[in-house]
Amino acid sequence: MSMEKQLNIELRSRILEYSLFIEKLINDLILWNLGIYDEKVKTRLFSNKGKISFQNKIDLLYDLEVLSKEENSEFELLMIVRNKFMHDIECDSFHTLLNQLDKGIVNRFKKFLEDGQLISDEEACRKASYRLFQKNIETIKNKIESNKVARDKKYKLFQSQNEQLIYYIDFIKDLMDKVSIATENSELENPKVAILGMELLQILEESVRKLNSETKPNIYEEFFNSDDNLKAIFGVKGDLKDWPKWEDFKLPNINKPKI
């Protein structure tokens, strides 16, 4: 096998590796945004045997407003590079690839070159493809972190509402207790005032009994102790214990071009 052919296979393998890893994380990002955090849940569209293309996946994320127009364009750029190297036998170098692409796509690729490097430099283009891959990885990690932050904010909102309600309940009960004590200790010499005081005391006692019997110390305790309730409000599918962890999305040790 000639050195040229060997280099061609090495290049194609590297681009394929980038693409496969990105597509796996794109699947995870879609499932995350659909509320499917359980790895045991196998979807028909986003499994290894899924029937939806990479283009459809990033289009879906764009439609869901997960990806911006620029981010969507960066994923598309990697897909274009990948498709040319995987499906065009004549595409054996970046020089060949870029000569086949329109000027707009080439200009998008140029943005990933280091300052001072030329599009005609094959090694510079290899490094640019790796930076494109890294940029896509970083985008996915940021999106997952943002989703996690939003989920945590929702949880804190429930917690804050619960604390506020408990405060109001305690405040009302304390007020009723003080009025009740003040009424009992008052010297009500006027019979009419005494009757009014007794009636007020009776109303307060009934209110306290009702408050004590119907008030739950933590109105969300039952809610948060139920996986079904949590999954319903947070839009989660599958087992809660399998929610993705941030460390699951670290950049792998993957075919970085030699510098």
Q: Give pLDDT tens digits for 175-215.
A: 777 776 766 666 666 676 667 767 777 777 777 677 666 65
Instruction: Using the predicted structure, report yes or no on whether residue 62 has a pLDDT greater than 50.
Output: yes
> Which pLDDT belongs to residue 236?
58
Tokens in use for 84? Answer: 């040319």
Between 185 and 134, residue with greater pLDDT:
134
Instruction: Using the predicted structure, report yes or no on whether residue 250 has a pLDDT greater than 50.
Output: no
Buried b (16+ CB within 10 A) or exposed e, 204-238: beeeeeeeeeeeeeeeeeeeeeeeeeebeeeebeb
> Which pLDDT belongs to residue 246?
44
> Which pLDDT belongs to residue 129?
94
Please report which confidence band the pLDDT of residue 218 belongs to, taking 50, 70 and 90 as the band edges: low
Q: What totals of helices (H) and strands (E) does the chain contain, helices first?
A: 9, 0
Q: Can you tell me the distance from the alpha carbon of 234 to that of 220, in angstroms, rounded to the nearest whole number?
A: 14
Please report which confidence band the pLDDT of residue 60 belongs to, taking 50, 70 and 90 as the band edges: very high
Please report which confidence band the pLDDT of residue 89 belongs to, taking 50, 70 and 90 as the band edges: confident
Instruction: Using the predicted structure, report yes or no on whether residue 169 has a pLDDT greater than 80.
Output: no
Instruction: Using the predicted structure, report yes or no on whether residue 249 has a pLDDT greater than 60.
Output: no
Residue 213, H or E segment: helix 191-214
